[in-house]
C-alpha cells in the first residue's frame, strides 16, 4: 500500500481532532448567560460530517482522533466518568446520523435532491439528536443534579440546530468549496461577496437593533428583511449558498442574543435560547429543501435540453445520411404507401425501384407498383410482391432482388432491398440502385468461364482420341467380322437363315453402340447455356466411366465405382458436372499410368451426407500423389506437372464446383496417391 | 477322319468374339471363346488349341503378357494377335517371340483367316 492515502487519512484525522476541540470551545463560548447550555454544540456535527464524508470502514479512525480533543476540552470541567460518557453519546449521535443518512440517501455527502436533503434532515437533524440525548441527559442529570427532561430538551434542540446549520455548511465547504474557490468566475465571486456583506449588515441590523422596539411582532422583521436575502442566496448559489446563509444568520442571531438583543430579548434566558433555536430550525428545513428542489429542477431542465439537442442532432444526421446516399431511398408505411423519399429518389423519380417506366412518388403505394407488374407477368414481379409483403407483415427482416428492365434501348439491371423499419407503426425502407455495370461484368465472367470450360472439354476430347478410336473400333470390328461371316453363310447351300438373323441383330447392336459413343462425345463438347436440372450423380459417374473405359484399358488402369445405393440427387448442369468427374478421373488415370507402383486401381465414390445436406464425390488413386504443400495450388490455373498439360483441368473443376455452391479439395493418401473430393449442397439455389 | 482344328479366341468385347466365332465356324474350325485372359489362363490345357487368337488390350493381363507366360512355361501354341490400335514396337516384340501375325482391328476376313490357317498348319506340322 502506498503511503499517500495513509498520510491523507492521518491529516484528515488531525483536522477532525482540531475542529472537534475548536468546536467544543466555541460551544462553551456560545452560552448566555454562561450557566445555561450552549445554543450551538458543534463537536457532534463535526464528527457527523467527517463520518458522512468517509467510508464506514474508516469511521473508527475519526472517532478515535476526536477522543483526545474531547478529553483536553472537557477534563477540567467535569468528572472523568461524565466526560467519557459524554464522548460516547457524542459519538453515538454522529454514528446514528451517518448510518441513517447512508441508509436513506443515495449520495450521503450531497444536498442537491429533495430525497438526499430529507434523508439528512430526518436522520442527522432529527433522529440522531433525539436518540443520543437520553443517555446524555441521564449522565448529566446524575452527575450535576439537574432535572433530566430539562437537560434532554436543551441538548436535543441545541444539537438539532447544530446538525442542520453546521452539517451541510461543513460538508459543502469540504466537497464543493475548493472547486468553487478555484474555478468560479469573477462575476460570481463579486455577487457572492456582495450578498454575504448584505446578509451580515441586514442580519446585524435585524437582530441587533430593530427588533428591540416594543410593539413589533417577534420574528416579523426576520421574515420581512432577512428571509428575502437568504432566499436570494439559495436561488443563486444552491445548497452551498443556502447552508452558508443559514449558518451566518444563526451566528449573528446568537451573537445578538448573547448581548441581550434580538427578537426574544424580552423572554427569560432559557426560553429565549429555545425560541431562537426553534426559529432557526424552522427556517433551515424549508430553505435546505428549497435549495435541493432548485438544483433538481435546473438539472432536469438541462437534461431535457440535452435530450432535445441530441434528438435534433440525430434528425440532422439522419437527413444528412439519407441525402448523401447514392441509392434512391424511400420510406414506406405498413400498407406500402411511400411516406418519404431522399433527394436521389426525387431526382430520378424512383425509376430504379419500379419494374416499369414511370415516376413513383410520395403518396403512391409501392406494393401496388409491383402488383401491377405481376399482373402483366413481368419477370421477378411476383417474387418481389411476396418479399415486400413479407417484410411489411414483419415475417421477414429484409428482402432483396435483382431484376432487369428493357425500358430503354438496352437491358438495364437494378437491385432493390427492402428492410423492416424498427418502429411501432411498422413500415419499411426501400433502397434501390442501378447495377447494370456489375451485372454485365458478372455475365461476361460467366460467359468466359463457360467458353474456357468448353475449350478445355474440346481439348480433353483431343487427348482422348486414341481411346475414342479404340471405343469405336470395337463395334466396327464386330460389325465387319459379323458381316464377313454373314456373307460366307449366304454362300452356303442352303443359306443358314438362323445364323444370318443373329448376325444382323448383333450388327444392329454394334451400330447402336458406336452411335452412343459418338452421341456422348457430341454432348460433351456441345456448346450451350448451362442448364440447371435435377441430376443423379451416380448416372453421371457411370456415363463418364464409360467414356473413359477404353482409356483405362490402354493405360492399364482399373476404375472401380463405389456408388451410393440410392440416387445421389443434385441440382446442376449435366455437361459441367460430367466435366468435373472426367477431369478428376483423367487426372487420376494419368497419375496412375505414370507411376511405377503395383496398385493400378482408381476408386470413384459417391455419398449423400444427410447432416450437411450435401452430395459428395471422391476420386482416389494410388499414383505419384501430391507433393507436400501442393494440395491447394493444384487448383490454380496454369499449374501443371504434366509436360503437355495446360494446367486448366483442376482450375475448371474448381470454378464449376464453386458455381454450383460447392467446394473441392485434395488430400494426400497415407499409403500412396491422392484423393480429390467434391462436395455440393443439395439445395443450392443457382445465382 | 482328322479332328477339326481348334481355335481359341480371347477378347473382352463380346461382339468381336461372336463375329470371329462365326467366321471361324464358317470355314470349319472348332472355336472356344474366353472373355478375359485370366479366364483363359485359369482354364489350363493350352496345348489343346491349334491357334490362339489374342486381343492385346484387355482388363487384367494383356495379350502380350499371356504370350510371355506361355513361352516361358514352354507351351508352344501359335498365336495371332489382334488389337484396337497397333504400334510397331509392340508388333515387333510379339513377332520376335514367335507370333504368327499381328492384325489391327478392323481387319479383312481373308487376312484373318489366312493368319489362322498358317497357325493351324504350323501346329499340325509340329504334331505330325
Separation between Cα atoms, residue A259 and residue A264, nearest integer Å: 12
Chain B contact probe: residue of A481, A501, A511 with most B CBs at under 10 A: A481
Mean pLDDT of A318-335: 84
The verdict on residue A666 lying in a domain is yes
pLDDT tens digits, A211-239: 555 566 656 666 677 888 888 888 888 88
Residue B90 C-alpha cell reads as: 509392340
What 3-state class would DSSP assign to A677?
strand
CA distance to partner chain A, nearest, from residue B127 (Å) = 29
Interface contacts A/B by beta carbons within 8 Å: 87
User: Is B59 in CB contact (< 8 Å) with chain A?
Assistant: yes
DSSP state of A125: I
Q: Which residues of B touch A478 (CB under 8 A)?
A: 13, 15-16, 18-19
Q: Which residues of B touch A474 (CB under 8 A)?
A: 13, 15-16, 84, 105
Chain B contact probe: residue of A477, A550, A552, A556 with most B CBs at under 10 A: A477
Same domain, A162 and A260: yes
The verdict on residue A307 lying in a domain is no
| Residue at grid coordinates 483423367 | A586
Asked if residues A681 and A662 have their Cβ atoms less than 8 Å apart, the reply is yes
Paired with B83 in beta bridges are B104
pLDDT tens digits, A617-663: 999 988 877 766 556 666 766 566 665 555 667 888 888 888 888 88
Q: Which residues of A touch B13 (CB under 8 A)?
A: 474, 477-478
pLDDT at residue A210 tops 60: no
Same domain, A424 and A453: no
Chain A contact probe: residue of B14, B16, B25, B53 with most A CBs at under 10 A: B16
The closest CB to that of B84, out of A470, A488, A489, belongs to A470
Determine, for residues A485 and B19 on separate chains, whether the beta-carbon distance falls below 8 Å. Answer: yes
Residue-averaged pLDDT of chain A: 81
Residues 6+ apart with CB under 8 A from A115: A104, A105, A106
Residues 6+ apart with CB under 8 A from A5: none
What 3-state class would DSSP assign to A668?
strand
pLDDT value for A687:
45
pLDDT value for A482:
93
pLDDT tens digits, A267-301: 666 677 777 778 788 888 888 888 888 888 888 89
Residue A470 C-alpha cell reads as: 479404340
Mean pLDDT of A152-176: 83
Determine, for residues A470 and B59 on separate chains, whether the beta-carbon distance falls below 8 Å. Answer: no
Give the neighbor-by-neighbor strand order of the sheet with A614-620: A558-562, A601-609, A614-620, A674-681, A663-668
Burial class of A228 by CB neighbour count within 10 A (0 to 12, 13 to 18, 19+): exposed
Give the neighbor-by-neighbor strand order of the sheet with B79-83: B30-34, B6-10, B51-55, B79-83, B101-104
Same domain, A296 and A370: no
What 3-state class would DSSP assign to A471?
helix
User: Is B85 in CB contact (< 8 Å) with chain A?
Assistant: yes
The verdict on residue A273 lying in a domain is yes
Same domain, A260 and A378: no
Q: How far is CA A493 from CA A464, A488, A489, A490, A496, in A?
A: 46, 10, 8, 8, 8
Q: Domain containing A457: what range?
A: 447-681
Asked if residues A402 and A296 have their Cβ atoms less than 8 Å apart, the reply is no
Separation between Cα atoms, residue A138 and residue A128, nearest integer Å: 16
Determine, for residues B26 and A492 on separate chains, whether the beta-carbon distance falls below 8 Å. Answer: yes
Burial class of A279 by CB neighbour count within 10 A (0 to 12, 13 to 18, 19+): buried
Q: Which residues of B touch A510 (CB under 8 A)?
A: 15
pLDDT value for A36:
55
**Architecture of domain B6-127 in this structure:** 3-Layer(aba) Sandwich (3.40)
User: Is B119 in CB contact (< 8 Å) with chain A?
Assistant: no
Q: Which residues of A touch B58 (CB under 8 A)?
A: 553
The verdict on residue A173 lying in a domain is yes
Separation between Cα atoms, residue B52 and residue B71, nearest integer Å: 13
pLDDT value for A606:
93
Of the three residues A411, A434, A457, the one that is the final residue of a domain is A434
Separation between Cα atoms, residue A208 and residue A251, nearest integer Å: 12
Asked if residues A292 and A235 have their Cβ atoms less than 8 Å apart, the reply is no
User: Is A492 in CB contact (< 8 Å) with chain B?
Assistant: yes
The verdict on residue A386 lying in a domain is yes
CA gyration radius for chain B? 13
Helix or strand holding residue A151 (H, E): helix A148-175
The verdict on residue A500 lying in a domain is yes
Chain B residue closest in CA terms to A549: B59
Same domain, A451 and A364: no
Separation between Cα atoms, residue A228 and residue A272, nearest integer Å: 24
Which of A166-170, A290-294, A483-487, A632-636 has the least mean pLDDT?
A: A632-636
The closest CB to that of B109, out of A469, A478, A484, belongs to A484
What percent of chain A has a predicted confidence (pLDDT) above 70? 90
Determine, for residues B26 and A477 on separate chains, whether the beta-carbon distance falls below 8 Å. Answer: no
Q: Which residues of A touch B19 (CB under 8 A)?
A: 477-482, 484-485, 503, 506
pLDDT tens digits, A513-557: 899 888 878 877 777 777 788 899 999 999 888 888 878 887 888
Asked if residues A598 and A577 have their Cβ atoms less than 8 Å apart, the reply is no
Same domain, A422 and A465: no
Strands A569-572 and A398-405: unpaired
CA distance to partner chain B, nearest, from residue A485 (Å) = 5
Q: Which residues of B touch A550 (CB under 8 A)?
A: 84
pLDDT at residue A604 tops 90: yes
CATH number for the domain spanning A386: value is 3.30.450.20
Burial class of B9 by CB neighbour count within 10 A (0 to 12, 13 to 18, 19+): buried
The verdict on residue A310 lying in a domain is no
Q: What is the DSSP string of A188-234?
A: HHHHHHHHHHHHHHHHHHHHHTGGGSTTSPTTHHIIIIIHHHHHHHH
Best CA proximity match to A132, nearest among A100, A171, A167: A100
The tally of domains found in chain A comes to 3
Chain B residue closest in CA terms to A503: B19
Q: Which residues of A touch B85 (CB under 8 A)?
A: 466, 469-470, 473, 554
Residues 96 through 115 of chain B touching chain A, CB cutoff 8 Å: 105-109, 112
The closest CB to that of A473, out of B58, B84, B109, belongs to B84
User: Is A522 in CB contact (< 8 Å) with chain B?
Assistant: no
The verdict on residue A305 lying in a domain is no
Asked if residues A175 and A250 have their Cβ atoms less than 8 Å apart, the reply is no
CA distance to partner chain A, nearest, from residue B96 (Å) = 22
Tens of pLDDT along chain B (128 residues)? 467 899 999 998 898 999 999 999 988 999 999 999 999 999 888 888 899 999 988 888 888 899 999 989 888 889 999 987 767 888 888 888 888 999 988 899 999 999 999 999 998 888 77
What 3-state class would DSSP assign to A108?
coil
Q: What is the DSSP string of A292-319?
A: HHHHHHHHHHHHHHHHHHHHHHHHHHHH
pLDDT tens digits, A41-85: 888 888 888 888 888 888 888 888 878 878 777 777 777 887 788
Asked if residues B83 and B105 have their Cβ atoms less than 8 Å apart, the reply is yes
Asked if residues A680 and A661 have their Cβ atoms less than 8 Å apart, the reply is yes
Chain A contact probe: residue of B19, B38, B103 with most A CBs at under 10 A: B19
pLDDT value for B1:
44
What percent of chain A has a predicted confidence (pLDDT) above 90? 9
* Dihedral angle of Cα B92, B93, B97, B102, to the nearest 10 degrees: -60
CA distance to partner chain B, nearest, from residue A473 (Å) = 6
Same domain, A421 and A453: no
Same domain, A256 and A361: no
Mean pLDDT of A307-327: 85
The angle subtended at Cα A637 by Cα A631 and Cα A640, nearest 5°, is 65
| Residue at grid coordinates 423492416 | A420
Residues 64 through 83 of chain B touching chain A, CB cutoff 8 Å: none
Paired with A679 in beta bridges are A616, A663
Determine, for residues B22 and A503 on separate chains, whether the beta-carbon distance falls below 8 Å. Answer: yes
What per-residue string of b and e applies to A389-407 under the rule 16 or more CB within 10 Å gives b? bbbbeeebeebebebebee
Paired with A602 in beta bridges are A559
CATH number for the domain spanning A490: value is 3.30.565.10
pTM of this prediction exceeds 0.80? no
Chain A contact probe: residue of B20, B21, B22 with most A CBs at under 10 A: B22
Separation between Cα atoms, residue A561 and residue A583, nearest integer Å: 16
Determine, for residues A478 and B27 on separate chains, whether the beta-carbon distance falls below 8 Å. Answer: no
Same domain, A430 and A452: no
| Residue at grid coordinates 492385346 | B56
Same domain, A283 and A186: yes
Separation between Cα atoms, residue B104 and residue A477, nearest integer Å: 10
Q: What is the largest CA-CA distance in chain A?
A: 172
pLDDT at residue A684 tops 80: no
Chain A residue closest in CA terms to B86: A470
Residue A454 C-alpha cell reads as: 468448353
Best CA proximity match to A74, nearest among A88, A63, A84: A84
The closest CB to that of A469, out of B25, B62, B85, belongs to B85
The closest CB to that of B26, out of A466, A474, A485, belongs to A485
Same domain, A428 and A451: no
Give, to the nearest 10 degrees, the angle between helix A80-104 and helix A59-74: 150
Same domain, A136 and A23: yes
User: Is A556 in CB contact (< 8 Å) with chain B?
Assistant: yes
User: Is B27 in CB contact (< 8 Å) with chain A?
Assistant: yes
Q: Which residues of A touch B105 (CB under 8 A)?
A: 473-474, 476-477
Determine, for residues A488 and B26 on separate chains, whether the beta-carbon distance falls below 8 Å. Answer: yes
Q: Which residues of A touch B59 (CB under 8 A)?
A: 552-553, 558
pLDDT at residue A483 tops 90: yes
Determine, for residues A554 and B57 on separate chains, whether the beta-carbon distance falls below 8 Å. Answer: yes
pLDDT at residue A480 tops 90: yes
Amino acid at each position: 500500500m502506498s503511503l499517500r492515502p495513509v498520510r491523507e487519512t492521518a491529516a484528515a484525522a488531525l483536522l477532525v481532532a482540531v475542529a472537534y476541540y475548536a468546536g467544543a470551545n466555541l460551544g462553551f463560548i456560545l452560552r448566555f448567560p454562561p450557566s445555561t447550555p450552549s445554543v450551538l454544540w458543534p463537536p457532534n456535527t463535526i464528527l457527523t460530517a467527517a463520518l458522512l464524508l468517509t467510508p464506514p470502514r474508516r469511521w473508527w479512525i475519526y472517532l478515535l482522533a476526536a477522543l483526545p480533543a474531547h478529553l483536553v476540552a472537557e477534563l477540567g470541567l467535569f468528572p472523568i466518568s461524565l466526560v467519557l460518557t459524554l464522548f460516547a453519546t457524542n459519538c453515538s449521535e454522529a454514528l446514528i446520523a451517518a448510518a441513517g443518512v447512508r441508509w436513506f440517501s443515495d449520495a450521503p455527502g450531497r444536498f442537491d435532491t429533495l430525497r438526499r436533503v430529507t434523508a439528512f434532515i430526518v436522520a442527522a437533524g432529527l433522529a440522531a439528536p433525539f436518540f443520543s440525548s437520553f443517555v446524555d441527559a441521564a449522565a448529566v442529570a446524575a452527575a450535576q443534579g439537574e432535572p433530566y427532561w430539562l437537560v434532554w430538551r436543551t441538548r436535543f434542540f441545541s444539537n438539532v440546530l447544530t446538525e442542520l446549520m453546521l452539517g451541510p455548511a461543513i460538508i459543502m465547504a469540504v466537497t464543493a468549496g475548493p472547486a468553487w474557490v478555484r474555478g468560479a468566475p469573477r462575476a460570481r465571486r463579486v455577487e457572492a461577496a456582495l450578498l454575504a456583506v448584505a446578509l451580515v449588515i441586514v442580519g446585524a441590523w435585524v437582530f441587533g437593533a430593530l427588533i428591540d422596539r416594543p410593539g413589533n411582532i417577534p420574528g416579523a422583521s426576520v421574515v420581512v428583511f432577512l428571509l428575502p436575502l437568504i432566499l436570494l442566496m439559495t436561488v443563486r448559489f444552491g445548497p452551498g449558498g443556502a447552508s452558508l446563509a443559514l449558518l451566518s444568520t444563526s451566528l449573528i442571531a446568537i451573537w445578538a442574543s448573547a448581548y441581550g438583543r434580538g427578537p426574544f430579548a424580552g423572554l427569560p434566558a432559557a426560553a429565549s435560547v429555545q425560541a431562537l433555536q426553534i426559529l432557526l430550525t424552522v427556517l433551515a428545513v424549508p430553505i435546505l429543501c428549497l435549495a435541493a428542489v432548485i438544483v433538481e429542477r435546473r438539472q432536469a431542465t438541462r437534461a431535457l435540453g440535452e435530450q432535445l439537442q441530441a434528438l435534433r442532432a440525430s434528425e440532422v444526421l439522419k437527413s444528412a445520411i439519407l441525402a448523401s446516399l447514392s441509392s434512391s431511398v424511400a420510406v414506406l408505411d405498413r400498407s406500402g404507401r411511400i411516406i418519404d423519399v431522399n433527394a436521389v429518389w426525387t431526382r430520378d423519380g424512383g425509376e430504379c425501384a419500379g419494374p416499369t417506366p414511370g415516376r413513383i412518388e410520395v403518396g403512391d403505394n409501392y406494393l401496388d407498383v409491383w402488383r401491377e407488374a405481376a399482373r402483366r407477368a413481368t419477370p421477378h414481379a411476383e417474387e418481389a410482391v411476396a418479399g415486400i409483403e413479407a417484410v411489411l407483415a414483419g415475417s421477414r427482416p429484409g428482402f432483396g432482388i435483382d431484376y432487369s428492365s428493357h425500358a430503354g434501348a438496352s437491358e438495364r439491371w437494378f437491385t432493390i432491398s427492402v428492410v423492416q423499419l424498427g418502429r411501432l407503426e411498422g413500415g419499411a425502407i426501400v433502397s434501390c440502385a442501378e447495377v447494370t455495370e456489375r451485372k454485365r461484368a458478372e455475365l461476361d465472367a460467366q460467359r468466359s468461364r463457360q467458353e474456357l470450360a468448353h475449350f478445355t472439354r474440346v481439348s480433353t476430347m483431343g487427348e482422348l482420341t486414341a481411346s475414342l478410336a479404340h471405343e469405336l473400333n470395337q463395334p466396327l470390328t464386330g460389325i465387319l467380322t459379323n458381316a464377313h461371316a454373314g456373307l460366307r453363310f449366304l454362300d452356303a447351300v442352303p443359306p443358314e437363315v438362323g445364323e444370318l438373323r443373329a448376325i444382323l441383330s448383333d450388327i444392329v447392336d454394334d451400330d447402336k453402340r458406336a452411335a452412343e459413343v459418338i452421341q456422348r462425345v457430341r454432348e460433351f463438347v456441345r456448346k450451350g447455356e448451362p442448364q440447371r436440372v435435377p441430376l443423379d450423380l451416380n448416372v453421371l459417374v457411370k456415363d463418364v466411366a464409360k467414356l473413359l473405359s477404353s482409356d483405362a484399358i490402354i493405360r492399364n488402369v482399373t476404375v472401380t465405382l463405389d456408388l451410393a445405393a440410392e440416387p445421389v440427387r443434385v441440382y446442376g448442369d449435366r455437361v459441367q458436372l460430367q466435366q468435373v468427374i472426367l477431369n478428376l478421373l483423367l487426372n487420376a488415370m494419368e497419375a496412375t499410368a505414370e507411376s511405377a507402383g503395383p496398385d493400378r486401381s482408381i476408386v470413384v465414390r459417391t455419398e449423400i451426407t444427410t447432416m450437411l445436406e450435401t452430395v459428395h464425390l471422391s476420386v482416389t488413386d494410388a499414383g505419384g500423389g501430391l507433393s507436400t504443400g501442393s494440395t491447394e495450388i493444384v487448383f490454380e490455373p496454369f499449374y501443371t506437372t504434366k509436360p503437355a498439360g495446360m494446367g486448366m483441368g483442376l482450375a475448371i473443376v474448381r470454378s464449376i464446383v464453386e458455381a454450383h455452391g460447392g467446394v473441392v479439395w485434395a488430400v494426400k493418401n497415407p499409403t500412396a496417391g491422392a484423393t480429390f473430393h467434391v462436395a455440393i449442397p443439395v439445395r443450392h439455389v443457382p445465382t | 477322319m482328322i479332328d477339326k482344328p481348334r481355335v481359341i479366341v480371347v477378347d473382352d468385347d463380346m461382339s468381336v468374339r461372336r463375329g470371329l466365332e462365326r467366321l471361324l465356324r464358317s470355314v470349319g474350325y472348332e472355336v472356344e471363346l474366353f472373355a478375359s485372359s485370366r479366364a483363359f489362363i485359369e482354364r489350363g490345357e493350352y496345348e489343346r488349341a491349334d491357334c490362339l487368337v489374342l486381343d492385346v488390350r484387355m482388363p487384367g493381363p494383356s495379350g502380350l503378357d499371356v504370350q510371355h507366360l506361355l513361352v516361358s512355361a514352354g507351351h508352344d501354341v501359335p498365336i495371332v494377335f489382334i488389337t484396337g490400335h497397333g504400334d510397331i514396337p509392340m508388333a515387333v516384340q510379339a513377332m520376335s517371340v514367335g507370333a504368327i501375325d499381328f492384325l489391327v482391328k478392323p481387319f479383312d476376313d481373308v487376312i484373318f483367316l489366312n493368319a489362322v490357317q498358317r497357325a493351324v498348319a504350323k501346329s499340325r506340322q509340329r504334331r505330325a
